[in-house]
Amino acid sequence: MEHTFDLDAYEVRFGHLHTTLSPWFAHCEPTAVLVVTDDNTHELCYPLLREALGLADDQPVAEIQAGERAKNLTTAEALWQTMFDLKLDRRSLVVNLGGGMLGDLAGFCASTFKRGVPFIHIPTTLLAATDAAIGGKNGVNFNGVKNTLGTFRDPAAVFVDPAFFRTLPARELRSGFAEVVKHALIGDPALWQLLLGIDDLTAADWYALTPPSIAVKVRIVREDPLEKDLRRLLNFGHTVGHAIESYGLGTFDVLTHGEAVAIGIIAESYLAWGDSERTQAIANRIVRFFGRHPVHKTAFEMLWSTMQQDKKNEGGVVRVAVPGDAPYTLRMLEPTREQVEESLVFYNRLPQE
């Protein structure tokens, strides 16, 4: 059941916190410990952590506001203030207990406070466990633009325990599932076969499904830590997905990141493989879990212009990263606007589950 993933500078330890985190923590003897939570993880996740580590009643716990809107400098400043008041130093430990938003923000604060206080991630969402907590990227949004301010700084370690997923709202679980699907499609055909057998996400065996998904992210980050080449494969589904996600922000139909990426994976599969059996199989699986959120024609123009601004692109050419023929190979496409629109029309015409 336990797995250790080695990233050279640090490890991702998978399994019950009692057997992974507790012995690690007993050895590290920091000068001070600050646990960072949000409103939800304080209530739902902190009791488990506290029990696993035998933390005292007066253990300092910072609580930030949950949700992407609080991923900003105002929240960061309050957290820096707490670090300052507690006199954290470079031998202290910051424990990030939460989803990707909390990990990004608290990792950013820890990595900049006194030029870097060691921190660990204890991801409590499926998305953070399989994606956000791995890879050393930290940051906050600025002027409404995602992750504008940030650092590349590795955590001291990451501890993943799916026990936390039990309290996760179904929609959050599904959002993280899009990244699991992505990992299967870019690197692990056996994981894809496992995903074909799932009927209900809340009843799925996350102790079995999470490690192979982590393994894909770990392997890609190890091979390309600074995002020069292979790591672009992690953007599969995200060029179209991000555009849909940002478009959704301006409308009533607000999609989660994963819901938008799920549409993006279908559209980009169509760009890569056309209306083939492979694309159909991917589309069927995704629609089964995510339903369909038709992308209205009036949005096409906005989506295209958002895609042109994506940081992978130069000179207005849209570049889309899709899997090559073998696992862990990358193919870059440069679709035209007509092709992208055709892929969205393909998505819109899929039968509802």
Ligand X SMILES: NC(=O)c1ccc[n+]([C@@H]2O[C@H](COP(=O)([O-])OP(=O)(O)OC[C@H]3O[C@@H](n4cnc5c(N)ncnc54)[C@H](O)[C@@H]3O)[C@@H](O)[C@H]2O)c1
Signed CA dihedral, 339, 174, 277, 215: sign only: positive
Least separation in angstroms between residue 161's CB and ligand X is 10
Span near ligand X by CB under 6 A; candidates 12-20, 62-70, 109-117, 317-325: 62-70
Q: Please, which residue, 46 or 113, has the CB nearer to ligand X?
A: 46
Q: Which is nearer to ligand X, 134 or 191 (CB)?
A: 134
Cα end-to-end distance, the chain, whole Å: 34
In terms of CB distance, is 32 or 66 closer to ligand X? Answer: 66
Q: Which residues contact 331 (CB under 8 A, 6 or more apart)?
A: 272, 321, 322, 323, 324
E strands in the chain: 3-6, 11-14, 33-38, 61-64, 93-98, 119-123, 137-142, 145-152, 157-160, 320-323, 330-333
DSSP assignment string, 90-133:
TT-EEEEEESHHHHHHHHHHHHHGGG---EEEEE-SHHIIIIIT
Q: Does 210 bind ligand X (CB under 6 A)?
A: no
- Minimum CB separation from ligand X for residue 137, in Å? 4
241 binds ligand X (CB under 6 A): no
Q: Does 285 bind ligand X (CB under 6 A)?
A: no
**What type of residue is 312?**
K
User: Which residues are 142's β-sheet partners?
Assistant: 145
Give the number of residues in contact with ligand X, rule: CB under 6 A. 30
Nearer to ligand X, 172 or 188 (CB): 172
DSSP conformation class of 313:
-
Alpha carbons 318 and 347: distance in angstroms, whole number: 19
Q: Is 131 in the site for ligand X (CB under 6 A)?
A: yes
- Dihedral of CA 332/334/338/344: which sign? positive
* Per-position x/- string for 92-121, each x denoting binding to ligand X as judged by CB under 6 A, each - no binding: ------xxxxx-x-----------------
Distance CA 268, CA 240 (A): 7
Q: 173 or 283: whose CB is closer to ligand X?
A: 173
Nearer to ligand X, 217 or 283 (CB): 217
Residues of this chain, 64-93, that bind ligand X according to CB under 6 A? 66-68, 71
164 is a contact residue toward ligand X (CB under 6 A): yes
36 binds ligand X (CB under 6 A): no
Instruction: Indicate whether 41 belongs to the interface with ligand X (CB under 6 A).
Output: yes
Enumerate binding residues for ligand X (CB under 6 A). Answer: 38, 40-41, 44-45, 66-68, 71, 98-102, 104, 124-125, 127-128, 131-132, 135, 137, 146-147, 164, 167-168, 172, 175
